[in-house]
Structure 1
Amino acid sequence: MNASVTEALGRFVAETPWEAIPEAVRREAPRALLNHLGCALGVAQDDAVRSALAVLRPWSGPAVATVYGQGTRLDPMSASFINCVAGNLLDFDDTHLATVIHPAAPVAPVALALAEAREYSGREVLQALLLGMEVECRIGLGVSPGHYDRGWHITSTCGAFGAAAAASRLLGLDAARTAHALGLAASQSAGIVENLPNSGKNASMGHAARAGLLSALLAEAGWDAAPGAVEGRLGWARATGDAPDVAAMAGELGTRWEVSRITYKPYPAGIVFHAVIEAALDLGVAAEEVAEVVAEGDALLLARGDRPVRSRGDARVSIHHSVALGLVRGRAGVAEFEPAAVDDPALAAMRSRVQARLDASLPRGAARLTATLRDGTRRVALVEHPTGSEARPMSDAALEAKFRDNLRLGGFEDRADALLAAVRGLEQAAGVGRLAALLA
């Protein structure tokens, strides 16, 4: 490969026409957008979203971009920041399991905000969304798993590249300018795993969207970056991980589509905990019968989920809480990860009877539970492909049901039909005005 990764991705984003994207891949754009918007509107009243709006509103530039569910507009970078936070807040968003990136949250807000400000068509928005998500997944794949293992929050770090790619496409930047935008994003990429259970994650997520948009606008204005900013000897990938897998980043562009591997969550928890939840449900025993549960999974599951549960952020990434929900409540909806559930004595008691163990033979996303009952008998449940995984994808009907449930949580159920129609018809829409009006 003669071109650098940065240059190859820049060319891919700038020169890939809508018609060259396979129909099956194009189909994921409205699905990803619908899922993102539902997740975001479901938390429109959350303190994290409202406080971000209160902080940014006094400093906002021209109010031309809608903040989801808030009845107001801000400048595109501020709106993108808040909308990204909202889309990712519940850990209910989409997932690229190979990297554990949640692709839409940093990218969709930028595409919508820029389209609203500069009047791009619905098809252009969907194309930018797909290309942006593809770029962030490609870059993430090239640094996995070492990047995440070092403590970098990969959705935040790679989200900046996805947002930059989407904005560059909408702005009509050529290949060279788009490569510069990606290189500029490399200098702003940030986010740490240590902050996942608290507001630090929200800050790096919102920053990813805002930084990506800023990078594209700076590139449009003539700013430049090194050709090897992503994978060079002193570039982003080597600074934040091991030697990058260049082929994973830029091989078979336009032929192998990572966005076709994106999945959608049926539970508002970290993706690797879904198998834990379903294995607990599959055990088929009452919590009071259980003396102890051993939960086994790969290194990522244990590294992320073997933790004390003190907050809803902890609960969403907890092996112990996931087991307890399956056994005590028999469900894992949004309410099951809120403070009241964290403080529930029955759930806390069950969490204390769960042990986590490494089984490196299990693939990422799988889990095995062995329950020892009070009478000495044992029950075992293994889930390798939970609901919503690549092997068991969510149908359009299931995604719609999830969307409606989220709108009900946020108090927007009366807009569900209109929003569904607007998203489904976006490819034919001359602009995003109708969708933005419904989101306001």
Structure 2
Amino acid sequence: MTDKANRFVSPDNHLLHLITETNPSLFDEYDLKKSGLCLLDWAAVAVAGSREPCAKILLDHAQQEGGEAQSTLIGTGKCGTARQAALFNGTAAHAHDFDDTYPAIPAHTTVPVASAVWAAAERDGRTGLEIITSVITGIEVICRLGLALCPDHYRRGWHASATLGAIGASAACAKLHGLKGKTIMDALELAACRAAGTKAAFGSMAKPLQLGQAAALGLESADLAQRGFTSSKRVLNAADGFYALHSNDFSDAPLKKPLGGEFHIHGNHFKYHASCFLTHGAIEAAKTFFADNGGHPPTSIKQIHVCGHPELLKVCDNPGPQTGLAAKFSVQFCVALALTGKDTSALSTFGKHLTRDSELRNLMNKTTLEASANLNHEEAEVTFSLKDESTTKIFGEPVSSTEPDEERPAIEAKARSLCEPVVGKEGTSKLIQLFSALQTLDHIPDYSGL
């Protein structure tokens, strides 16, 4: 066996053990509360995204395709097949790039997993606790694989939310289906051999579609494995398998970590700015400067220098975005918004009309970028040089709480802001109540009317 082949001596048993042995007896109150918040956040961004053009196209496609009404297409008042629902809900939930993220990879973990699990659970009549268990399992798989493969996986241009999301979704659905042994690995391998997604799609409809496809692919892979569809055991860890093709940094250490400690869902961060998470540190720094300036537009600024993680420059260096989607991936635009007091949590702020705003354009033209490997993905140091030759340097990082009880009011407020324009106050209250009590439910209520 070659040295390269030796690098991939079977971590399969670790994944199989993780999926098989994760169960509610390992969960503490934090796990249950955090998973409920992640699912509420997912549902809220899906409802809001259901009105976006990409979601409307998928809805039209599903209606033309037809099929049994098995699962809810969230926010539309309609149902489709479970696969259609996973594709639609996963795409809609990422349409605004406002869903939670795991910064260390980085990847959006809840959307591909929850979209797949929820569609299958509606179709198959699963309990709330089974949903939570499957979601925690799927997110754990994404995070462990991400830590095993990154940073090279993401650095190469792979969209980890999609590539790893498909495998995590298949693991979650395998858990929901009660699959065992080799059948679980067949599900993962069927997903891995078809998983895809590139960062080159960022700022377009194709980015959220990649997460919808990951959800649908994960569900389909588990469904096929349950029916006896098999794969090759070489797909993941052979010298020409998924791990080797996707990273030169692969280490199975994260996969070997024993169960029983803190689940990686603890590390999911909720987003309070409707833009790429890489921009959030710079936004927070600019918001601080704006507040320190008395809440007035900073007419005295001569130059803005943003120092961030190298990925910030690769993904979000766009000094002249032309569309609202592209603006979410322009750190120059996001900083300008914050410096002029614009609400970066409002979906309408990231509209095409503001990309032409002369005041924002002026600030964008004054902004320069620098990469620093000493900063995390979500951090930034922003230096403001003023016309009086003084400078101010501000460190920024996203604001979040480590305690679900402390974060719940903010997530519920976010859900109301996103959902009420689409499903009204009553529909929004139903969603909030659903995910507050999910672990106690023996079935999912009929929310097809939402």
- Aligned partners of 1:209, 1:97: CA distance in 2, in Å? 20
For these two proteins, the number of residue pairs brought into alignment is: 437
Q: Is the 8 A contact 2:34 2:404 kept in 1?
A: no
Three-state SS of the structure 1 residue aligned to 2:50 is coil
- Aligned partners of 1:252, 1:228: CA distance in 2, in Å? 24
- Aligned partners of 1:191, 1:163: CA distance in 2, in Å? 15
Of the candidates 185, 188, 195, which is equivalent to residue 194 of structure 2? 188
- Aligned partners of 2:175, 2:129: CA distance in 1, in Å? 12
Of the candidates 21, 24, 32, which is equivalent to residue 26 of structure 1? 32
2:429 maps to 417
Structure 2 residue ranges without an equivalent (≥5): 1-6
Are 1:290 and 2:290 matched, yes or no? no
User: How far is 1:407 from its partner?
Assistant: 1.0
1:255 maps to 261
What amino acid maps onto 2:309 in structure 1?
Answer: D
2:398 maps to 386
Q: Is the 8 A contact 2:22 2:133 kept in 1?
A: no
User: How far is 1:411 from its partner?
Assistant: 4.6
2:209 maps to 203
2:363 maps to 350
Three-state SS of the structure 1 residue aligned to 2:383 is strand
- Aligned partners of 1:2, 1:193: CA distance in 2, in Å? 26
1:326 maps to 338
Superposition TM-score, scaled by structure 1 size? 0.94
Output aligned runs, 1:333-372, within 5 Å.
333=345, 334-372=347-385
Q: Is the 8 A contact 1:229 1:235 kept in 2?
A: yes
Are 1:71 and 2:77 matched, yes or no? yes
Question: What whole-Å deviation, never above 9, does each CA across 1:282-328 have from its counterpart, x for those lacking one?
Answer: 12343321111011112111111112312222211211012101112
Residues 203 and 417 from structure 1, CA distance in 2 versus in 1: closer, same or farther, beyond 3 angstroms? closer
Question: What whole-Å deviation, never above 9, does each CA across 1:200-230 have from its counterpart, x for those lacking one?
Answer: 2133221101110111011111122233432
Q: Is the 8 A contact 1:122 1:426 kept in 2?
A: yes
* Range with greater deviation from structure 2 (91-100 or 9-18): 9-18
Question: What whole-Å deviation, never above 9, does each CA across 1:54-83 have from its counterpart, x for those lacking one?
Answer: 112222321111100111111000110010
2:45 maps to 39
2:317 maps to 306
- Aligned partners of 2:405, 2:202: CA distance in 1, in Å? 26
- Aligned partners of 1:274, 1:249: CA distance in 2, in Å? 30
Identity %: 26
User: How far is 1:394 from its partner?
Assistant: 6.3
2:134 maps to 128
1:244 maps to 250
2:412 maps to 400
Q: Is the 8 A contact 2:105 2:151 kept in 1?
A: yes
Question: What whole-Å deviation, never above 9, does each CA across 1:362-400 have from its counterpart, x for those lacking one?
Answer: 2331111111112222222112x3212769996111111
* Range with greater deviation from structure 2 (17-26 or 96-105): 17-26
Of the candidates 216, 224, 230, which is equivalent to residue 222 of structure 2? 216
Q: Is the 8 A contact 1:13 1:175 kept in 2?
A: no
Are 1:59 and 2:65 matched, yes or no? yes
What amino acid maps onto 2:390 in structure 1?
Answer: T
User: How far is 1:256 from its partner?
Assistant: 4.4
User: How far is 1:175 from its partner?
Assistant: 2.7
Q: Is the 8 A contact 2:99 2:108 kept in 1?
A: yes
Q: Is the 8 A contact 1:164 1:182 kept in 2?
A: yes
Question: What whole-Å deviation, never above 9, does each CA across 1:208-261 have from its counterpart, x for those lacking one?
Answer: 011101110111111222334323321112111214111113422343421111
User: How far is 1:414 from its partner?
Assistant: 3.0
What amino acid maps onto 1:263 in structure 2?
Answer: H
What amino acid maps onto 2:362 in structure 1?
Answer: A
- Aligned partners of 1:391, 1:79: CA distance in 2, in Å? 31
User: How far is 1:432 from its partner?
Assistant: 0.8
Superposition TM-score, scaled by structure 2 size? 0.92
- Aligned partners of 2:185, 2:96: CA distance in 1, in Å? 32
Residues 190 and 77 from structure 1, CA distance in 2 versus in 1: closer, same or farther, beyond 3 angstroms? same
Residues 244 and 3 from structure 1, CA distance in 2 versus in 1: closer, same or farther, beyond 3 angstroms? closer
* Range with greater deviation from structure 2 (8-17 or 38-47): 8-17
* Range with greater deviation from structure 2 (43-52 or 282-291): 282-291
- Aligned partners of 1:60, 1:132: CA distance in 2, in Å? 29
Q: Is the 8 A contact 1:10 1:182 kept in 2?
A: no
Output aligned runs, 1:101-180, within 5 Å.
101-180=107-186
Q: Is the 8 A contact 1:13 1:165 kept in 2?
A: yes
Residues 281 and 118 from structure 1, CA distance in 2 versus in 1: closer, same or farther, beyond 3 angstroms? same
RMSD of aligned residue pairs (Cα, Å): 2.1
- Aligned partners of 1:336, 1:100: CA distance in 2, in Å? 24
- Aligned partners of 1:253, 1:27: CA distance in 2, in Å? 19
- Aligned partners of 2:259, 2:270: CA distance in 1, in Å? 24
2:3 maps to none
- Aligned partners of 1:269, 1:89: CA distance in 2, in Å? 11
2:328 maps to 316
User: How far is 1:37 from its partner?
Assistant: 0.6
Q: Is the 8 A contact 2:384 2:393 kept in 1?
A: yes
Question: What whole-Å deviation, never above 9, does each CA across 1:163-191 have from its counterpart, x for those lacking one?
Answer: 10111111110132111111111111100
- Aligned partners of 1:373, 1:335: CA distance in 2, in Å? 30
- Aligned partners of 2:404, 2:329: CA distance in 1, in Å? 22
- Aligned partners of 1:412, 1:162: CA distance in 2, in Å? 33
Three-state SS of the structure 2 residue aligned to 1:27 is helix
